[in-house]
């Protein structure tokens, strides 16, 4: 089922039809804050009132021109300013393919640099998301370069890649903040673990490494078993609760979110917004097939 959803996420005709369907938009609202920045800020204020931080992601990837990449950059610049002006406790996440990586590495770097410079002036932070493995080296090189210049940028490491331990160690050495996730792209067995048990085991090992050596790591998971092990390891090592945070996706496991906050842990929600929500939505279904049953129940109610 995971492979099917990832395949569907790349179908452009299906995407165009779904993103204009009122029914599909209503269903996607569980995971997406809305189409506009105002929608996202409204959700942000509510989340903050519950004691939760957020990171805003303007949906869109694999732009078709550098002009389109510049428009994405401008949306993010406006988003950072709006977060600051509205006194929302949050930052932003972006994808390099949305900032022009497929057309010009240098122009992409310049676009991201503008955003990070703005974040630095506002006392904020930018997270560069990790995409499929073909972008891993370029993503890390760009983040390391810009972190050396501005400081307020981090990235994401995916535990299903075999190379991830070496990447985490290098990022820890450079004091670059890491969000640890499992990964949501199809990758060949030569470079990625294919068994869930192996992905989970690597995740736990990387989580421990980040808690020991990382710069304010983000443990991004909805897996309660891993959350329990993270809490136990932090307690065993005497790691203060303000030295790391858990991260989850907007709209998933709200019961667990409330429990973590009540226990005094820091929690940040990844809150996407925008019209180009279809690929993101399909990857969330691929990551957690139980979400399909949620959608089915809602369809039956229509």
Instruction: State the 10-residue block means of pLDDT for the chain, 302 residues long.
Output: 51 56 63 90 97 94 89 97 98 96 97 98 97 96 97 97 98 98 90 95 98 98 96 98 96 91 97 77 59 48 42
Tell me how many domains the chain contains: 1
Q: Tell me whether residue 11 is one of the annotated catalytic residues.
A: no
Longest dimension (CA), the chain: 53
Q: Is residue 17 part of a domain?
A: no
pTM for this predicted structure: 0.86
Q: Tell me whether residue 170 is one of the annotated catalytic residues.
A: no
The one catalytic residue among 15, 73, 179, 266? 179
**Residue 296: its pLDDT value, please?**
47
CATH number for the domain that contains residue 207:
3.20.20.220
**Residue 12: its pLDDT value, please?**
58
> Token pair 């993503």 is at which residue?
139
Q: Is residue 206 part of a domain?
A: yes
**Residue 240: its pLDDT value, please?**
97
Residue 160: domain span? 32-276
**Residue 63: its pLDDT value, please?**
87
Q: Is residue 177 part of a domain?
A: yes
Count other C-beta atoms under 10 Å from residue 136's C-beta: 19
Whole-angstrom Cα distance, residue 252 to residue 237? 29
Q: Is residue 286 part of a domain?
A: no
Q: Is residue 99 part of a domain?
A: yes
The one catalytic residue among 15, 109, 127, 129? 129
**Residue 275: its pLDDT value, please?**
78
Whole-angstrom Cα distance, residue 241 to residue 245? 8
């Amino acid at each position: 089922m995971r492979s099917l959803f990832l395949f569907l996420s790349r179908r452009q005709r299906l995407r165009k039809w779904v993103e204009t369907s009122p029914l599909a938009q209503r269903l996607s609202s569980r995971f997406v804050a809305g189409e506009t920045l105002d929608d996202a800020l409204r959700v942000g204020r509510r989340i903050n009132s519950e004691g939760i931080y957020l990171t805003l992601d303007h949906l869109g990837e694999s732009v078709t021109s550098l002009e389109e990449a510049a428009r994405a950059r401008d949306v993010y610049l406006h988003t950072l300013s709006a977060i600051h002006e509205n006194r929302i406790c949050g930052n932003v996440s972006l994808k390099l393919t949305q900032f022009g990586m497929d057309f010009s590495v240098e122009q992409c770097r310049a676009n991201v640099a503008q955003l990070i410079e703005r974040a630095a002036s506002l006392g904020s932070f930018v997270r560069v998301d990790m995409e499929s493995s073909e972008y891993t080296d370029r993503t890390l090189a760009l983040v390391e370069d810009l972190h050396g210049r501005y400081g307020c940028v981090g990235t994401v490491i995916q535990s299903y890649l075999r190379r991830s331990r070496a990447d985490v160690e290098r990022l820890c050495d450079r004091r670059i903040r890491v969000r640890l996730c499992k990964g949501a792209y199809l990758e060949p067995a030569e470079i990625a673990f294919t068994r869930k048990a192996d992905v989970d085991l690597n995740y736990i090992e990387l989580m421990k490494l980040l808690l020991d050596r990382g710069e304010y790591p983000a443990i991004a998971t909805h897996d309660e078993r891993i959350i329990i092990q993270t809490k136990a390891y932090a307690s065993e090592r005497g790691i203060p609760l303000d030295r790391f945070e858990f991260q989850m996706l907007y709209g998933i496991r709200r019961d667990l979110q409330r429990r973590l906050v009540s226990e005094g842990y820091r929690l940040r929600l990844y809150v996407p917004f925008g019209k180009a929500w279809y690929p993101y939505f399909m990857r969330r279904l691929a990551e957690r097939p139980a979400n399909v049953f949620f959608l089915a129940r809602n369809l039956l109610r229509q």
